[in-house]
Amino acid sequence: MMINYFKLQNFRNYKDETIEFLPGINILIGDNGQGKTNLIEGIYYLLTGKSYRVQKEHELLSWDQSEFHLHGDFLMAAHKVSLESHYKNKKKMVKVNQVPCQRLSDFVGTINVIFFSPDDLVMIKGGPLERRRFLDLHIAQMRPGHVSLLNAYNKVIQQKSALLKSLVSKSLKYTQLQLWNEQLITLGEKIIRNRVDLTKKLQNVADLIYGNLTFQKEKLNVTYIALGNNNVNEAISEFPKLLNDKLEQEIERQMVLIGPHRDDVQILLNDKPARLFASQGQQRSIVLSLKLAELELIRQEKGEYPLLLLDDVLSELDRFRRDYLMNFIESSGIQTLITMTSAEKHLESGSLYFVEKGHIRRKR
Ligand SMILES: Nc1ncnc2c1ncn2[C@@H]1O[C@H](COP(=O)(O)OP(=O)(O)OP(=O)(O)O)[C@@H](O)[C@H]1O
Ligand SMILES: [Mg+2]
């Protein structure tokens, strides 16, 4: 998959700018604060319907503007795909090949993308939410139904929470809570199975890559922990009982205490939690392995590598890891957009663009 053309209008610090990309490596070079990340964010937003930096679209609008437009032309299995995103009056409209889409799931996953920045270390250092988000973002690109599933599940959680906080009598609460619990079980099981399926696949590939990065000296283990249990079938069969057991506690604390909205991914390095014991460099290697594993999984399923966006990543890696990543990119032919500051040593191969004050000029 690749991007050929991208146009941004009133998006962040871009007024009206177009850029043509080439296959292989595309390097975006510029001083700090010129628009490199904004450009990457624009492409990611166009492909996923979400920004990884902000929750609300209006923050993506150029200051003092009321609407933004993004337009990208892509190639997928030798077919042209045109995507357009238009945001106006707090509403967003998306078109795929000029046809308007009703829902996010109508276009997310049309062209796949993997984004990688130093902030991805939160997958290791951060809380369970970050790890669940990592899985969900990947699944959403591969199985569009996952987004609707998460939305439906979250709605039930909201309704159940509201009931837990409400002042209705205890006996009435019990009956209604049972009804919500039945839905939590049905939807929750599907979410858990999607996440477990991805975690298993990631584990197989990421462990191999991590082994290569450490000359087989270290072992990476990634496991989905469903409802506090690393045995998914056991967890799912115990789900109704767990919900029943927690009922009193949930009423007392007025919150939903068990379900996939509280699950975690256990990341072990040589059998010890990476969050607590892995060094900064080891944590970076784990994230790199997981990102490369994601690329491989998409290629296996879709028959093509996704688009790869690397924001400020190269300066964070040591020589060996940087060479490993660049070799992977070059030998696989993945189209990659890489941001670098002017201070960094230029890469010798690849197309080169200068980014300055919201303008982009091709240099090589
Ligand atoms: N909504 C917005 N409207 C207009 N300008 C914005 C908006 N949001 C951010 N900017 C500006 O865009 C500029 C470029 O930001 P960006 O994050 O893309 O920089 P960068 O080139 O990636 O820099 P760095 O090398 O520091 O990462 C910043 O100076 C910022 O103030
Ligand atoms: Mg940046």
Q: Is the CB of 42 under 6 A from ligand 1?
A: no
pTM for the whole structure:
0.95
Phi, psi at 176, each rounded to 5°: -70, -35
Residue 36 pLDDT:
98
Nearest ligand, measured from the Cα of 53: 1
What average pLDDT does the segment 142-167 reach? 94
Which atom in ligand 1 lies closest to the alpha carbon of residue 312? 27
Which atom in ligand 1 lies closest to the alpha carbon of residue 41? 18
- The rounded distance, in Å, linking the Cα atoms of 265 and 62 is 37
> What is the per-residue pLDDT across 89-130, written as a single tens digit (0 to 9) for each?
999 999 999 999 988 888 999 999 999 999 999 999 999 999
Which atom in ligand 1 lies closest to the alpha carbon of residue 35? 18
Q: Are 306 and 3 in contact (CB under 8 A)?
A: no
Q: Is the CB of 37 under 6 A from ligand 1?
A: yes
Residue 104 pLDDT:
83
Q: Which residue has the tokens 């200051």?
A: 63
Residue 173 pLDDT:
87
Q: Are 254 and 218 in contact (CB under 8 A)?
A: no
What average pLDDT does the segment 321-349 reach? 91
Mean pLDDT score of the chain: 95
DSSP letter (8 states) at residue 33: T
- Residue 82: CB atoms within 10 Å: 15
> What is the per-residue pLDDT across 8-45, written as a single tens digit (0 to 9) for each?
999 999 999 999 999 999 999 999 999 999 999 999 99
What average pLDDT does the segment 353-360 reach? 97
Q: Is the CB of 64 under 6 A from ligand 1?
A: no
What average pLDDT does the segment 313-329 reach? 92
Q: Are 265 and 135 in contact (CB under 8 A)?
A: yes
Phi, psi at 357, each rounded to 5°: 45, 45
Q: Which domains does the chain have, with CATH numbers?
A: 1-111+306-364 (3.40.50.300), 121-303 (1.20.1050.90)
